[in-house]
Structure 1
Amino acid sequence: MKKSVLFLSAAAMLLAASCQSFKKGDGGLEYNLVDDVAKEKAVAGDFLSVDLTIRSDKNDSLLNSTYDLGLPQIVNIAPDSIPGAYKGDYNSMFKFLGEGDSAVFKLNMDTMAAKTGQPKPEFADKFVTFTVKVRKHFKKGQLTDSALYAEIDGYFKGELEGLKKAEEGKISKYVADKKLEPKKTASGLQYVVTEEGKGAKPVLGDTVVVNYTGMLTNGTVFDSSIKENAIKAKLPMDPMRTFEPLKFSIGNQPVIQGWTEGLLLFGKGTKATLIIPSSLAYGDRPAGQKIPPYAPLIFDVELVDVIKGQGVAPAPAMPGMGAPTVTEPTN
């Protein structure tokens, strides 16, 4: 099983284990300490590194998950004196927890609305449910702020380094699982042509029209120009969005480098899968809530049309944007 699926299964089991034994706390907060092992719980000024999922009681919809990004969330335990704080609020949940603990909390939206004067969010009825697992507890104690922040920064850099080291394995596993024989360019881009187009190839300065579906190597779809694919992947639906092929000028409009390099290889009508390493995508930066740092990206693309340029000079090329060198299929 894929790592993210294992993590989400663990979160689901944690939620299931809690269902019969919620306790009632202040402000309508309901909670169950599934693993209550930490001798020291978080206090104001501390930080927790946590894995969590957030679900709405309306249609049991998943609102957010740290497992999607493969990185924990760092939570600052704020003092009760901050404006807008009340007993049973979001901050209160984490004071039940220390390193190694896990719990499920049901945050009462009626109380939140009454205490803060803010309307209840449209995505929830009475509760928003948080499933939390604490990885590490950073204790303020007598530490200066700079010393505490340096400790957290070092920890987070270690987490990022783990993602970086895992990238090559993710690509290899994806290729093996799909039984692919991709071609590979000198930059590290890999691609498989599933249908050869008979039209002209674009060059820098041309406008291309592209249908696409983007996903992670674990199969998580993060975007698509095709409505049916977006619905199947349960992507959030923006009522203002028009699903249609993406149209842009190669070299004049910014897209990730892997797209530019890949599309220059294909003739009009080509359908292909691009396997793009993070060095040709977003690198060490996350993108939105779905794409973690050091994430290789998979794009199923169709080059619908190539519109020849009007003699406008393309923007300065990014490193490696020139004509790619192709090697034979890798095993």
Structure 2
Amino acid sequence: MKKSILFLSAAVLLTAASCQNFKKGDGGLEYKIVKDAGAEKAASGDLLSVDMTINSDRNDSLLNSTYDMGLPQIVNIAPDSIPGLYAGDYNSMFKMLGEGDSAVFRLNLDTMAAKTGQPKPEFADKFVTFTVKVRKHFKKGQLTDSAIYAEVNKYFEGEIEGLKKGEEGKITAYISSNKLEPKKTTSGLQYIVTEEGKGEKPALGDTVVVNYTGKLTNGTIFDTSDPELAKKENQFNPMRPYEPIRFSIGNDPVIQGWTEGIQLLNKGGKATLIIPSSLGYGERGGGGKIPPYAPLVFEIELVDVVKGTGTAAAPSLPEQIPAEPLN
């Protein structure tokens, strides 16, 4: 619920700013200060903890959002003397903000290309829009680098602890909002068989072929074997194959929730797996798309089962190497 409120607040900020004229800054930068909390603004060497969404002006496509991860982004304010920086660039935006401030910036890509000598990115036409809320301002002052980063690390430990404490609530809210009635195993895995298969169940040592879509409990899809869905979600990667994943149960490294969940299905069956982080990517998260302590939802289809020649030994959870999302 907290993440939903935060995401909504970002959307409100963007909508409010879009209804008003942006001010013109250096280097073609356009900006709208939505809230000025009156705090000291960031300076070179400082760090900001921010909630942020990044949108392309091409079909208003969402490029990135800290709200998906449930963790803020740390922005390091670089000195102006660093080569490649210019007035009106990414670094300039954050020097306009302090703790408690919020704003919308439109970074001019034509200026960026001219100033840096780099080609414009292909994902936008002229502007990239940043909607920013500053959570915390870490002031460099006379602190050593190690001292200020120690502050940041302590801060992030608290943020991650909050994710850990909130995991069970995310699972409960997902089940309730989707009106699901899952079965639950002793490990904590919850599942709903949506289509009964007609073949046999796989066992340890068997090779399985699986179609899948993985998402967070807020609905954000982080990986899929379906190319059309990947395109729809603006996640299509032409460098990877979009086809069912093939792996040997108990031999190939997949998350424990898959090792257990796949064995609950008959060949041809489909199911929704609700996987707690203890059976997923745990305290580390995965692939830059899955936060620490994130419960996961997988829609899976067991396409085929190839019987193994012998029974594999099931890897214990601490030794299980999580498979990273393929995107």
Q: In the TM superposition, what is the alpha-carbon distance from 1:87 to its structure 2 partner?
A: 1.1
Aligned to 2:169: 169
**What is the SS of the residue equivalent to 2:54?**
strand
Alignment match, 2:225: 225
Residues 99-137 of structure 1: per-residue CA shift (max 9 Å, x gap): 000111111111111111100101122111111100000
Given that 1:222 and 1:235 are in contact with CA atoms closer than 8 Å, whether structure 2 keeps it comes out as no
Report the more deviating stretch, 301-310 or 70-79: 301-310
What secondary structure does 1:75 align onto? strand
Structure 2 distance, partners of 1:321, 1:23, is 55
CA distance in 1 between partners of 2:75 and 2:298 (Å): 34
Deviations 1:25-61 (A, max 9, x none): 1111111111112331000111000011111112211
CA RMSD of aligned residues (A): 2.0
Note if contact 1:38-1:97 (Cα within 8 Å) is conserved in structure 2: no
- Report what 1:296 is aligned to: 295
Aligned partners of 1:235 and 1:294: how far apart in 2? 25
Residue 319 of structure 1: how far off its partner (Å): 2.7
Amino acid paired to 1:57 = D
In structure 2, how many angstroms separate the alpha carbons of the residues matched to 1:263 and 1:150? 42
Letter in 2 for 1:119: P
1:289 Cα shift? 4.7
CA separation in 1, counterparts of 2:129 and 2:218?
Answer: 25
Residues 119 and 188 of structure 1, relative CA distance in 2, 3 Å threshold: same
Matches within 5 A, 1:148-167: 148-167=148-167
How far apart are 1:201 and its partner, in Å? 1.7
**Most deviating of 44-53 and 238-247:** 238-247
Distance 1:86 1:227 in 2: 39
1:12 aligns with 2:11: yes
Instruction: Output the CA distance in 1 between the equivalents of 2:40 and 2:317.
Output: 50
Is contact 1:68-1:289 (8 Å) kept?
no
For residues 136 and 320 of structure 1, what CA distance do their matches in structure 2 show?
35
Does structure 2 conserve the Cα–Cα contact (< 8 Å) formed by 1:187 and 1:320? no
Match of 1:306 in 2: 305
Does the aligned pair in 1 maintain the 2:35–2:101 contact within 8 Å?
Answer: yes
Counterpart residue type for residue 263 of structure 1: I
Q: Which runs of 5 or more structure 1 residues have no equivalent in the other structure?
A: 323-331
2:82 partner amino acid: I
The aligned amino acid for 1:293 is P
CA–CA distance in 1 between the matches of 2:171 and 2:39?
A: 41
User: Helix, strand or coil for the counterpart of 2:149?
Assistant: helix
TM-score, length-scaled by structure 1:
0.90
Look up the match of 1:236: 235
Which string of whole-angstrom CA distances, capped at 9 and with x for unpartnered residues, describes residues 55-107 of structure 1? 11122111111111111000111111112111111111100000000111111
Residues 142-164 of structure 1 show CA distances to partners (whole Å, capped at 9, x for unaligned) of 22222211111111111101111
What CA distance in whole angstroms lies between the structure 2 residues aligned with 1:297 and 1:281? Answer: 7
- Contact 2:193/2:272, CA 8 A, preserved across alignment: yes
TM-score, normalised via structure 2 length: 0.91
In the alignment, which residue of structure 1 is the partner of 2:192? Answer: 192
Q: Deviations over 1:220-269 (max 9, x none)?
A: 2222223444345x242223544332211112221111001111222212
**1:90–1:321 Cα change, 3 Å:** closer
Cα separation, 1, equivalents of 2:106 and 2:230: 30
Q: Check 1:242–1:45 CA distance in 2 against 1; reply closer, same or farther (3 A cut).
A: closer
Aligned position for 1:281? 280
What residue identity is the alignment partner of 2:265? F
Matches within 5 A, 1:100-111: 100-111=100-111
Q: Which residue of 2 aligns with 1:62?
A: 62
* Contact 2:204 2:314 (C-alpha < 8 Å) held by counterparts: no
Q: Distance in 2 between matches of 1:178 and 1:14?
A: 28
Could you tell me which residue of structure 2 aligns to residue 90 of structure 1?
A: 90
3-state SS in 2 of match to 1:141 = coil
Counterpart for residue 326 of structure 1: none
1:318 matched to 2:312 = no
Conserved 8 A contact 1:203-1:250? yes
1:22-101 equivalence runs, <5 A: 22-101=22-101
Contact 1:261 1:321 in 2 (8 A): no
Cα distance change on mapping 1:25 and 1:228 into 2, 3 Å: closer
Is this contact kept in 2: 1:103–1:131, CA < 8 A?
A: yes
In terms of mean alpha carbon deviation, does 170-179 or 23-32 score higher? 170-179
* 1:183 Cα deviation after fit: 2.1
Structural mapping, 1:107-122, within 5 Å: 107-122=107-122
2:317 partner SS: coil
In structure 2, what residue type is equivalent to 1:282? Y
Asked whether the 8 Å contact 2:270–2:302 carries over to 1, the reply is: yes
In structure 1, distance between residues paired with 2:168 and 2:138: 31
- Matched residue pairs, number? 319
